[in-house]
Amino acid sequence: MTGSGDGLLQVENLGKRFGGFVALENISLSVAAGERLGLIGPNGSGKSTLVNCICGTLRNEFGNVRFGGQKLDGLDAHERTHLGLARSFQLPRPFVSLSLADNIRIPLLYTVAMRPDRRHTPHEVEERCVALLDEVGLGDKARRLPRDLTQVEMRKLELARAMASEPKLLIADEAMAGLTHSEIEDILALLVRLNEQGVTVILIEHIMSAVMSFSRRLVVLVSGRKIADGAPNDVMRDPEVERAYLGQ
Amino acid sequence: MRTPTFLLVCLAIGAAVFAASLALGNDYIFFAGYVVMQYVVLSTAWNILGGYCGYVNFGSAAFFALGAYSTVAIYKLITENDFYRMPMPVLMLIGGAVSGVVGLGMGYLTLRLRGAFFAIATLALAVVLQTLVVNWDFVGGSRGAYIIRPEQIEPIGNYIRYLFLIMMLLAVAAVTIARMIEHSRLGYGFATIRDDELAAEASGVPTLRLKLIATTISGALMGMAGAPFPYYIGYLQPASTFGLDYAVNSIAMPLIGGTTSWVGPLIGAVLLGSLQQIATVTISSAVNLLIVGCLLVIFVIIAPNGIVGLIHTYLQHKPEDFVGRHHVDADAPGRVP
């Protein structure tokens, strides 16, 4: 699976410019349901821009994105979330005036509740909030504010909030940046558990050990172009990938 | 406390205030009290968009004036010739509808802008509307318009008492609406827009739709507050109706009281409104803006979260019903209405 085809997520010839600067050029990508995809590349290669275009935060000028067979052109970010696309942000963006439980409540009220077969009573919503926080180890801090959290706890909250929308696909954008080895293991275990529950995961990371251990397939972006797509070991041996990371 | 109980409590307090004012035997209490209640409505309305959603509206005077001039237009059309005097509640609903629609339209044009751009757009709206009114002879233009206030209305008696009662009921309604919003799914959505709009969209919150709802509710309440104003003041002119007092007080009162909770604008309006009325009769109405300015500077320095924030810090806990928290009301459905 290296190009377009039937997949949960299909990106076809996607291009994005900021004025005269080409941020993404002719990106094609297909992600199958249940897949674990790693997306890597040097700083400024366009990874976050690609995520923003897929999730609707930015509008791509060229190409299109399909999710579950549906074209996402013209859909706002919240509409894409309703379809089952979720993301965590590179820098955690909690709702600072809301408690941790309330942070989790938002996707439950505004995404899960939009689905006709998923209407919860207030009690069920409350239970689900607590369960999700327990899953990421923050159950005892449900009533605290995000400002009371450590760095790793903030990232766990970010992931829990993405999980609360019950996504079909989760894009984890540098969820492990700045963490210690054991904290990285915690986050990885969380993502593996999520994938085992049927959620497709795209992991964007600079921590190669984490990417290699998690991903079943690797895509490499450099300067807005896709230069490699395949099994992790094969991709890392690709001369062009080596040049991109190590130079000539 | 459930909403019906809260409403009953507010109505009981309102009835007590009205009875106490009657007992004092001085109708000036109603003149002054009307202004305080008016500011309760204006500051609560402003806070729904400015405090809950984080979108600062500098055009409060525009919405207030829309309500006032709707009344003037109706007066000119049907009342001036003694044809028919429209009941005040109906005038308020019309004023609210007009302001609400304008709020919706303005929101649709400007709410895709963020931060300072939206605030500037609201200021521009006020200027545009004032220019329109100044050049609209039917409502008096720059000369102004006279509205003849009835002397009496049965069974209340003096018409000013009736206006005070109407405005107090509107204040109760506004505060109840604000509290309902805060305790509802809508309130959660507003809070996410205020905290981080990008993350809100990523969480499935339809931010533009919610902002439009906030703008419409806020504008409608301001218009309803403006509708009785011509009957209160007797002579309406653009310079005073679009005056700085309404724009500044609508912002200052919630900031001083506290913007994250329904009770903040109420505290700010009662405190600041009362101070201004006392200053008006003891010194001069010209010091009113000076009072606002001084208090704003003090509070921005020592209590940026307002009086409610100060109380919260002092108490070191969050009484659920008074300090900006968000719980889904037990009666509220857990799904999209």
With beta carbons less than 8 A apart as the criterion, state whether A133 and A160 touch: yes
Nearest CA in chain B to A81: B204
pLDDT at A40 over 80: yes
Q: Which residue has the higher pLDDT, B318 or A11?
A: A11
Tell me the fold of A9-93+167-246.
Rossmann fold (3.40.50)
Task: Considering only residues B155 and A98, tell me which one the structure prediction assigns the higher pLDDT.
Answer: A98
Q: Which helix (H) or strand (E) holds B235?
A: strand B235-236
Cα distance from A208 to chain B (closest Cα, Å)?
27
pLDDT digits (tens, 9 = 90+) for B36-49: 999 999 999 999 99
Per-residue model confidence as pLDDT tens digits over A193-202:
999 999 999 9
- Decide if pLDDT at A210 tops 80: yes
The highest-confidence range among A178-187, B116-125, B179-188, B292-301, by mean pLDDT, is: B179-188
Distance, in angstroms, between B259 CA and closest chain A CA?
12
Q: 10 Å Cβ neighbour count for B129?
A: 22
Look at the block and give the residue holding tokens 């509205």.
B147
pLDDT of residue B317: 57
Q: What value of ipTM does the predicted structure carry? A: 0.91
Q: What's phi and psi for A171, nearest 5 deg?
A: -105, 115
- What is the mean pLDDT of the segment spanning B279-298? 87
In a domain? residue B67: yes
* pLDDT score recorded for residue A247: 62
B133-171 per-residue burial string, b: 16 or more CB within 10 A, e: under 16: bbeeeebbeeebbebebeeebeebeebbbbbbbbbbbbb
A55, A99, A113: residue with CB nearest B336: A113
Q: What is the mean pLDDT of residues A137-159?
A: 92
Q: Is the pLDDT at B1 greater than 90, yes or no? A: no
Considering only the beta carbons, identify the residue of A81, A86, A105 that sits closest to B188: A105
Range with the lowest mean pLDDT among A166-175, A214-223, A236-245, B137-146?
A236-245
Kindly determine whether residue A95 and residue B199, on different chains, have CB atoms separated by under 8 Å.
Answer: yes
Q: Cα–Cα–Cα angle for A171, A173, A174, nearest 5°? A: 145
Q: Where residue B324 falls among pLDDT bands split at 50, 70, 90?
A: low
The verdict on residue B173 lying in a domain is: yes
- At residue B329, the pLDDT reads 40
Q: Could you give the count of Cα atoms lying within 13 Å of B43 in the half-sphere of its Cβ? A: 32
Q: Is the peptide bond before B155 cis (omega within 30 degrees of 0)?
A: yes
Checking if the pLDDT of B326 tops 90, the result is no
- Under the banding of pLDDT at 50, 70 and 90, the label for residue B332 is very low
The beta-carbon neighbor of B202 closest among A77, A124, A125 is A77
Tally the domains of chain B: 1
Query: Mutation test of the interface with chain B: which of A81, A97, A155, choosing the one with the most B Cβ atoms within 10 A?
Result: A97
pLDDT higher than threshold 70 for residue A7:
yes
Checking if the pLDDT of B220 tops 90, the result is yes
pLDDT at B331: 41
Q: Residue A178 has what pLDDT?
A: 83
- Between chain A and chain B, the number of residue pairs with CB atoms below 8 A apart is 104
B327 pLDDT higher than 60: no
Greater confidence (B26 vs A118) lies with B26
Q: Which residue has the higher pLDDT, B151 or A214?
A: A214
pLDDT(B10) > 80 = yes
Instruction: Tell me which residue in A97, A107, A120 faces B204 most closely, judged by beta carbons.
Output: A107
Residues whose CB falls within 8 Å of the CB of residue A206, separated by 6 or more in sequence, listed in order: A40, A174, A177
Question: In A, what residues contact B, Cβ < 8 A?
Answer: 55-57, 76-78, 81-82, 86-87, 89, 93-99, 102, 105-107, 109-111, 113-114, 119-122, 124-125, 161-162, 164-165
Q: Percentage of residues in chain B with pLDDT exceeding 90?
A: 59
Chain-chain contact of B203 with A87 (C-beta, under 8 angstroms): no
Measured between beta carbons, the chain B residues lying within 8 angstroms of A124 are 334
The pLDDT tens digits for B182-216 are 989 999 999 999 999 999 999 999 999 999 999 99
Closest by CA to B36, choosing from B167, B156, B152, B127, is B167
- pLDDT number for residue B314: 83
Distance CA B250, CA A107 (A): 33
Indicate yes or no: CB of B334 within 8 angstroms of CB of A122. Answer: yes
Domain range for B139: 3-244
**Rg of the Cα trace of chain A?**
18
A88 backbone dihedrals φ, ψ, rounded to 5°:
-110, 150
The residue extents of the domains of chain A are 9-93+167-246
Task: Look at residue B323 in the predicted model and tell me its pLDDT.
Answer: 47
* pLDDT at position B310 over 80: yes
Burial track A196-213 (b if 16+ CB lie within 10 A, e otherwise): eeebbbbbbbebeebbbe
Mean pLDDT of B271-289: 88
pLDDT digits (tens, 9 = 90+) for B73-95: 998 888 666 656 788 999 999 99
Is the model's pLDDT at A6 over the cut of 90?
Answer: no
